[in-house]
């Protein structure tokens, strides 16, 4: 289903260049499809794992995660938005509004890791990530 949602041709045709679109259905797929949630988990957890060797600031995690998806550094306003979103999500997990174990891959998922998974979902859903190319 995701193949057709993202402008993939049917198996009976061959296209030299696919049409590009950006539709609400694509955004819903990116936010709700289990495959994309797993991709966000892997992205967030591998980013955190790669950076855990040293004490790391949230700014570094956000920049690294953003760069892995969009292959460029975030500008100041983008970085501020990511950090604000991270803090809001972390507070939701810490307050019990959301359950980190339902977002993370493991039952022991911390609120911080779950919040970074939510940030990864948001970055993967950016227009620039969806229509890159």
Whether residue 105 is predicted with pLDDT greater than 70 in this model: the reply is no
Q: Are 123 and 65 in contact (CB under 8 A)?
A: yes
Residue-level pLDDT at 62: 97
Q: What is the pLDDT of residues 8-58, one digit of tens each?
A: 777 777 777 767 777 788 878 888 888 889 999 999 999 999 998 667 899
Mean pLDDT confidence for 106-122: 90
SS3 letters for 54-74?
A: CCCCHHHHHHHHHHHHHCCCC
Mean pLDDT confidence for 113-121: 95
Residue-level pLDDT at 30: 80
**CA distances, 100 to each of 47, 64, 67, 104 (Å):** 18, 22, 25, 6
Let me know the angle formed at the C-alpha of 11 by 40 and 128, rounded to the nearest 5 degrees.
35
DSSP type of residue 9: P
Q: What is the pLDDT of residues 71-103, one digit of tens each?
A: 999 999 999 999 999 999 999 999 999 999 888
């Amino acid at each position: 289903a995701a193949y057709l949602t993202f402008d993939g041709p049917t198996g009976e045709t061959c296209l030299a260049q696919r049409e590009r679109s950006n539709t609400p259905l694509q955004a819903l797929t990116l936010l709700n499809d289990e495959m994309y949630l797993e991709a966000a988990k892997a992205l967030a957890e591998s980013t955190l794992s790669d950076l855990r060797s040293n004490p790391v600031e949230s700014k570094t995690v956000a920049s690294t995660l953003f760069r892995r998806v969009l292959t460029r550094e975030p500008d100041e306003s983008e970085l501020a938005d990511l950090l604000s979103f991270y803090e809001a999500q972390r507070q939701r997990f810490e307050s019990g509004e959301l359950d980190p174990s339902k977002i993370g891959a493991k039952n022991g998922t911390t609120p911080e890791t779950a919040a970074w998974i939510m940030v990864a979902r948001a970055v993967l859903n950016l227009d620039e990530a969806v229509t890159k190319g």
